Chains A and B, each alone.
Chain A
Amino acid sequence: MKNDSALLIVKGLHVSFFTEKGIAHAVQDVGFSVKKGQTFALVGESGCGKSVTALSIMRLIPEPPGKIEAGEILFRDRNLLALPEYQMRAIRGNHIAMIFQEPMTSLNPVYTIGEQIIEAIQLHQKKTEEQAWELAIETLQKVGIPEPRQRISEYPHQMSGGMRQRVMIAMAISCKPEMLIADEPTTALDVTIQAQILDLLDELQRQSQMSILLITHDLGIVEERASDVAVMYASKIAELAGCKDLFEKPFHPYTQGLLKSMPHLGFTEKRLNTIPGIVPDPLHFPSGCKFHPRCYLGCNDKRCRTIEPELREVALERKVACWYAPGYEKPDDPKL
């Protein structure tokens, strides 16, 4: 697809955290684009940098210890990283909204949900208290909260986990943002409630052509809900592709391993495939390709051990960072 349909473009993002133990490069050279009205998924295991990427887009990285060292985040052709804070505030919540994993800790326990939604509305829109109240009720209705007129005066602890997540979504969409960042929106919820919340997000997206940046560790959700996906490993994008392509034919050994190691329904083997080893510590990344110590292809390849592959376009709309992927030159001498 053409570039002009992209609502958000992230280019060469680099985020580091300066800790007592050293510099942790949490995000390195991450780039992707989110198209209008579509869902883009960032997948990866804990610590791979997916949430840090999301927080960077919102400019919510705590500074210090964090620092966005390089990169551009273009939202409707404006570089968010170059905006002064007061302009960023007008974007945050109004044009780009975010929902978090834990709805309980993201809501303020001492205010009613109505007060919290209205605060967001009045901050960004010129509305009287009454108008804002009506809009809040309307939004609660939209996200499927029964009897919104009564429930608007309730406190977060009076609601169940699924309802709280609906309140978070109501708050996020109350200003009709063009883009919603959903950081593990259903991880804390039960599967039947998870399905309800994901259906709700789909529905809202259809109604308003909102783009969604979905951050998750669950590849099942990605396959069902996203159109494009970036798999992150150890601060970098390992593979970027259309969702269908990725699940049909994953190129990166990490993606392959992840897909194979998930138990899924209908699975009849006696043992699961595993990826040996553990996710590397961002303070001590291995040399070369960061995945090589766990990789069935690269663990003995000198090139993989010493030179890190860059993310290359190997097919239409497909990028991979692996020396063994199609489109990479074959080593002249395998024992190089």
Chain B
Amino acid sequence: MNINNDFLLKVDDLKTYFPIKKGLLRRTVGFVKAVDGVSFAIKPAQTFGLVGESGCGKTTVARSILRLIPATAGKVVFDNADVLSLHGQQLRQLRSHISLIFQDPLGSLNPRMTVGNIVGEPIKVHKKITGPGLTERVRLILSKVGLSPDSIDLYPHEFSGGQRQRIGIARALALEPKLVVCDEPVSALDVSIQSQILNLLKDLQEEFSLTYLFIAHDLAVVQFSCDIVAVMYMGKIVEQAPVNELFNNPLHPYTVALMSAIPRIKAPNRPDRRTLKGEVPADLSTTGCYFNPRCPFAKEACRTQTPPLVPVPDRPDHYLACCKY
């Protein structure tokens, strides 16, 4: 990897465990390892994708970076600041540099606030701008995301799903953040609206040279939007590569299965469907590689050794955690 200060965000061996409490005294009997040693780094103006199925820990990674969930261990460096040790004023400042776009556009907008207040509040809090100056800024941001500046006095319920997502994007951009975490930004939207929002995110990235941490479960969306993609399974990154490399040359059996599982239109060279057996195990008794109970290639070694994420020989920037290779 390159030198440290090339990166806007660097996550090193991040672990977020949730305690399992049982019994009368709520004693901790174990941990759910939602994020279990995740490392990656994002360069400025890049889009880094985290893909995986529900419960794989991709949202927990994002929330730990934002300090919305306390991380158990690890290091997060954002813009040369050690995020996990910040507090008070510094933490507030951090949050004006990183913003979030949520999956459910209606659930994440306060129904009692007008669009002007929703988008304007972060500006009021962080930049101390009020009055006509504030209104002007909000109107400008609204027009940037493709909403009419005159919709400033409307309430979220007066918009369609796609427009609500645009409000969410406007709010995220209000403070001119450096990093925007997009947590499943289009999965709640209809197909024809999905493409509008994906294009908008790309346009905004170009205009404001934004950096995205893009979380999604839809590989096609990820392929369109991201520069580098990391595939997560049960709290670990199992494979990471630049987008074209990953999609042309997936190596991890889970990545391959995930790609072949997508129903797709007119795939010119559709790989054979490899339907995975079983599900993500709910108990925590799996040893070795977490994927081994579902893996078609599992050998004895897979049940005992946990493979680390290592560079693939002769494949620049391609990382893999699998005993098969």
B220 touches A262 (CB 8 A): yes
Chain B CB within 8 A of A70 CB: no
Binds A, one of B37-45, B73-81, B83-91, B265-273: B265-273
- Most B C-beta atoms less than 10 A away, residue of A225, A257, A258, A261: A261
Chain B CB within 8 A of A295 CB: no
- Most A C-beta atoms less than 10 A away, residue of B221, B265, B276: B265
> Chain A contact residues (Cβ within 8 angstroms of B): what range?
35 or more
Chain A CB within 8 A of B93 CB: no
A265 touches B262 (CB 8 A): yes
Partner of B198 from the list A199, A264, A272 (CB cut-off 8 Å) is A272
Contacting residues, chain B, for A257 (C-beta < 8 A): 192
Contacting residues, chain B, for A162 (C-beta < 8 A): 279
B224 touches A46 (CB 8 A): no
Inter-chain CA distance A266–B258, complex, in Å, is 15
Within 8 A of B (CB), among A143-160: 160
CB contact under 8 A between A160 and B263, given known A191-B53, A192-B258, A279-B160: no
Chain A CB within 8 A of B209 CB: no
Contacting residues, chain B, for A224 (C-beta < 8 A): 263-264
A272 to chain B, nearest CB (A): 4
Chain A CB within 8 A of B242 CB: no
B85 to chain A, nearest CB (A): 35
A261 touches B275 (CB 8 A): no
- Most A C-beta atoms less than 10 A away, residue of B190, B192, B217, B257: B192
A267 touches B220 (CB 8 A): yes
Inter-chain CA distance A225–B273, complex, in Å, is 13
Inter-chain CA distance A132–B150, complex, in Å, is 63
B53 touches A267 (CB 8 A): no
Inter-chain CA distance A294–B170, complex, in Å, is 24
Within 8 A of B (CB), among A40-95: 45-46
Contacting residues, chain B, for A217 (C-beta < 8 A): 190-191
B199 touches A264 (CB 8 A): no
> Chain B contact residues (Cβ within 8 angstroms of A): what range?
35 or more
Chain A CB within 8 A of B72 CB: no
B191 touches A261 (CB 8 A): yes
- Most A C-beta atoms less than 10 A away, residue of B53, B190, B280: B190
Inter-chain CA distance A303–B191, complex, in Å, is 28
B263 touches A274 (CB 8 A): no
Q: Mark B184-211, 1 if CB is under 8 A from A, else 0.
A: 0000001111111011001000000000
Q: Mark B142-161, 1 if CB is under 8 A from A, else 0.
A: 00000000000000000011
Chain A CB within 8 A of B247 CB: yes
Contacting residues, chain B, for A190 (C-beta < 8 A): 53-54, 217
A278 touches B262 (CB 8 A): no
Inter-chain CA distance A254–B221, complex, in Å, is 21
Inter-chain CA distance A278–B163, complex, in Å, is 9
Inter-chain CA distance A163–B202, complex, in Å, is 38
A197 to chain B, nearest CB (A): 10
Inter-chain CA distance A219–B263, complex, in Å, is 8
Chain A CB within 8 A of B282 CB: yes
Partner of B195 from the list A160, A261, A279 (CB cut-off 8 Å) is A261
Chain A CB within 8 A of B219 CB: yes
B120 to chain A, nearest CB (A): 25
A192 touches B160 (CB 8 A): no
Chain A CB within 8 A of B223 CB: yes
Within 8 A of B (CB), among A216-266: 217-221, 223-225, 247, 257-259, 261-266
Inter-chain CA distance A191–B193, complex, in Å, is 21
Partner of B190 from the list A223, A265, A279 (CB cut-off 8 Å) is A279
Chain B CB within 8 A of A196 CB: yes
Chain B CB within 8 A of A33 CB: no
CB contact under 8 A between A247 and B265, given known A192-B276, A265-B247, A272-B224: yes
Inter-chain CA distance A223–B263, complex, in Å, is 8
Which chain A residue has the least Cβ–Cβ distance from B161?
A: A46
B275 touches A192 (CB 8 A): yes
B242 to chain A, nearest CB (A): 14
Chain A CB within 8 A of B69 CB: no
A46 touches B190 (CB 8 A): yes
Chain A CB within 8 A of B259 CB: yes
Q: Mark B25-65, 1 if CB is under 8 A from A, else 0.
A: 00000000000000000000000000001100000000000
A274 touches B195 (CB 8 A): yes
Which chain B residue has the least Cβ–Cβ distance from A186?
A: B263
B279 touches A160 (CB 8 A): yes
A263 touches B263 (CB 8 A): no
Inter-chain CA distance A192–B52, complex, in Å, is 10
CB contact under 8 A between A195 and B191, given known A220-B265, A264-B220: no
Ordered by A's residue number, 10 sampled pairs between the chains whose C-beta atoms are within 8 Å are: A160-B279, A163-B279, A191-B219, A196-B276, A220-B265, A247-B266, A261-B192, A264-B267, A274-B196, A276-B196
10 A-B pairs with least C-beta separation:
A220-B263, A261-B195, A190-B53, A45-B190, A272-B195, A263-B224, A195-B261, A275-B192, A263-B220, A221-B263
Known A195-B275, A267-B224; further 14 A-B contacts with Cβ < 8 A: A192-B261, A217-B190, A220-B264, A223-B265, A258-B191, A261-B191, A262-B191, A265-B247, A265-B262, A270-B202, A272-B195, A273-B195, A276-B196, A278-B193
